Amino acid sequence: MMSELILKGTDLFMKKTGSADKLHICGNTERMLFLILGILLVFAGAKVYRLIASFIMFWAVTIALCTVMNGKSDWGTIVTAFTILGCLMGYMAFKWDTADSMILSAMTAAAVVWMCYPLWWVAVISAVGVAAAAAFFPLEGAILSSVAVGMFLLHETGVRYVVLLTVCGLLLQIILFERKSERGRKIWKRFFVKKSNI
Categorize the per-residue pLDDT at 134 as very low, low, confident or very high, splitting at 50, 70 and 90: confident
Q: Side-chain half-sphere of 179: how many Cα atoms within 13 Å?
A: 12
pLDDT digits (tens, 9 = 90+) for 35-82: 898 999 999 888 888 888 888 888 888 888 888 888 787 888 888 888
Higher pLDDT, 105 or 96: 105
Q: What is the mean pLDDT of residues 24-45?
A: 83
The pLDDT mean for the chain works out to 81
Give the span between the Cα atoms of 106 and 110, in whole angstroms: 6
Q: Cβ distance 111 to 52 under 8 Å?
A: no
Residue type, 6: I
Q: Cβ distance 153 to 41 under 8 Å?
A: yes
Confidence (pLDDT) at 49: 83
